[in-house]
Amino acid sequence: MIVLWNTVYMEAALNQLRRDRYPDDVARHSPLLHEHINMLGRYSFSVPEAVANGELRPLRDPADGA
Protein backbone atom coordinates (compact mmCIF):
# COMPACT_ATOMS: atom_id res chain seq x y z
CA MET A 1 0.00 0.00 0.00
CA ILE A 2 2.83 2.37 0.87
CA VAL A 3 4.59 1.71 -2.45
CA LEU A 4 1.33 2.47 -4.28
CA TRP A 5 0.92 5.71 -2.28
CA ASN A 6 4.54 6.67 -3.08
CA THR A 7 3.99 5.88 -6.77
CA VAL A 8 0.87 8.03 -7.05
CA TYR A 9 2.55 11.03 -5.41
CA MET A 10 5.81 10.60 -7.30
CA GLU A 11 3.91 10.62 -10.58
CA ALA A 12 2.05 13.78 -9.56
CA ALA A 13 5.31 15.44 -8.46
CA LEU A 14 7.15 14.53 -11.66
CA ASN A 15 4.22 15.76 -13.77
CA GLN A 16 4.26 19.06 -11.85
CA LEU A 17 8.03 19.41 -12.35
CA ARG A 18 7.68 18.75 -16.07
CA ARG A 19 4.76 21.18 -16.32
CA ASP A 20 6.79 23.87 -14.52
CA ARG A 21 9.80 23.02 -16.72
CA TYR A 22 12.10 21.93 -13.92
CA PRO A 23 14.68 19.37 -15.00
CA ASP A 24 14.20 16.02 -13.37
CA ASP A 25 16.23 12.85 -13.30
CA VAL A 26 13.56 10.16 -13.50
CA ALA A 27 16.14 7.38 -13.33
CA ARG A 28 16.99 8.37 -9.76
CA HIS A 29 13.41 8.12 -8.48
CA SER A 30 11.84 4.96 -7.16
CA PRO A 31 8.70 4.31 -5.12
CA LEU A 32 10.51 1.32 -3.61
CA LEU A 33 12.89 3.38 -1.47
CA HIS A 34 12.02 2.36 2.03
CA GLU A 35 14.16 4.18 4.58
CA HIS A 36 11.01 5.92 5.82
CA ILE A 37 9.00 2.69 6.03
CA ASN A 38 8.96 0.61 9.20
CA MET A 39 8.69 -2.93 7.83
CA LEU A 40 7.99 -4.43 11.24
CA GLY A 41 5.50 -1.90 12.54
CA ARG A 42 1.84 -1.22 12.18
CA TYR A 43 0.45 1.70 10.32
CA SER A 44 -2.71 3.58 11.06
CA PHE A 45 -3.91 5.84 8.28
CA SER A 46 -6.04 8.82 9.02
CA VAL A 47 -6.64 10.69 5.79
CA PRO A 48 -8.40 13.99 5.18
CA GLU A 49 -11.81 13.75 3.56
CA ALA A 50 -10.50 15.23 0.29
CA VAL A 51 -7.88 12.46 0.00
CA ALA A 52 -10.48 9.82 0.88
CA ASN A 53 -12.52 11.19 -2.03
CA GLY A 54 -9.63 10.64 -4.46
CA GLU A 55 -7.92 14.04 -4.39
CA LEU A 56 -4.18 14.38 -3.77
CA ARG A 57 -2.81 16.49 -0.98
CA PRO A 58 -0.95 19.60 -2.20
CA LEU A 59 2.59 19.08 -3.47
CA ARG A 60 5.47 21.28 -2.37
CA ASP A 61 6.55 23.98 -4.79
CA PRO A 62 10.23 23.50 -5.78
CA ALA A 63 10.51 27.29 -6.10
CA ASP A 64 10.09 27.51 -2.32
CA GLY A 65 13.53 25.91 -1.90
CA ALA A 66 12.33 23.14 0.41
The model's pLDDT over 27-64, given as tens digits with 9 standing for 90+, comes to 677 766 667 677 777 777 788 888 889 888 888 877 77
Give me the number of domains the chain comprises: 1
Domain hosting 29: range is: 2-57
For the entire predicted model, the pTM comes to: 0.59
Q: Which residue from 64, 58, 65 is spatially nearest to 16, judged by alpha carbons? A: 58
Query: Does any domain span residue 65?
Result: no
Query: Does any domain span residue 64?
Result: no
Query: Does any domain span residue 66?
Result: no
Task: Output 31 or 19, whichever has higher pLDDT.
Answer: 19
Query: Does any domain span residue 10?
Result: yes
Query: Does any domain span residue 62?
Result: no
**What integer pLDDT is reported at residue 39 of this predicted model?**
73
Query: Does any domain span residue 7?
Result: yes
Query: Does any domain span residue 24?
Result: yes
